[in-house]
Amino acid sequence: MTGLRRLGDWLLRLPENRVAGWALVAINLGGAVYGFNWYKEQLLQSSPILWPVIPDSPLAALYFGLFLLTLKLGWRVRLLAAVAFVSMVKYGLWTVLVFSQYWWAHGVNGFEEVHLTLSHLSMAVEAAIFLRYYYPGLGAGLAAGLWFALDDYLDYFHEAHARLPDPAFLPGVALMAYGLTAVALAAYFGLGGRATRADRNWRCARSL
């Protein structure tokens, strides 16, 4: 139990760990590359106009990796940070719920599904941890919310969503996506609101 408590404390203080910060930059950018390759076939079969909204999870990892890199460089790109936080929470949880629904109906079907589920869960957790330290603000959060409302519309009215393990789940998945946009924004304003009260200049004394 003590070991788990220490691990939890270490994770919660991850934004203060400079070495881990560089590792997370590499992990997120590497995950983005892996994800874009995973979406390669769908992208090639889709209109280039829709490419900015098709590979949602790889884009989330890319945004977050770039956000971490801007911290390393001493920049504060608030809109990038807001989009990164919201997308990591939303699409991290989206993948977990989609595969959980599929497993409930059909059972676990291979290592890749488990790997994708755990890695996407870690995306949501990672974003929540960093959001306790860095809050881009109200305006950036509202702009991110508008972007993801448009993303949801294009995903489910113009078939730009990720291919599902079972297409029969599409109506429920569409409703879930809209709900997760609201959940991710609630997490953004809830966790971020605490961060800004503790540090109104969006700085951490021992940050990345």
87-144 pLDDT per residue, tens: 999 999 999 999 898 888 877 777 888 889 999 999 999 999 999 889 999 999 999 9
pLDDT at position 45? 93
- According to DSSP, residue 14 is labeled G
For 118, other C-beta atoms within 10 Å of its C-beta total: 12
Per the prediction, the chain carries an average pLDDT of 89
In this predicted model, what pLDDT tens digit does every residue of 52-61 receive, in sequence order?
999 999 999 9
Q: pLDDT digit string (tens) for 137-190? A: 999 999 999 999 999 999 999 989 998 888 888 999 999 999 999 999 999 999
Q: What are the CA-CA distances from residue 136 to residues 35, 49, 193 (Å)? A: 26, 28, 10
| Entry pTM | 0.91
DSSP state of 46: S
The per-residue pLDDT for 165 is: 84
200 residue type, one letter: R
Which helix (H) or strand (E) is 158 found in, with range?
Answer: none
The answer to whether the Cα torsion of 24, 60, 196, 198 is positive or negative is negative
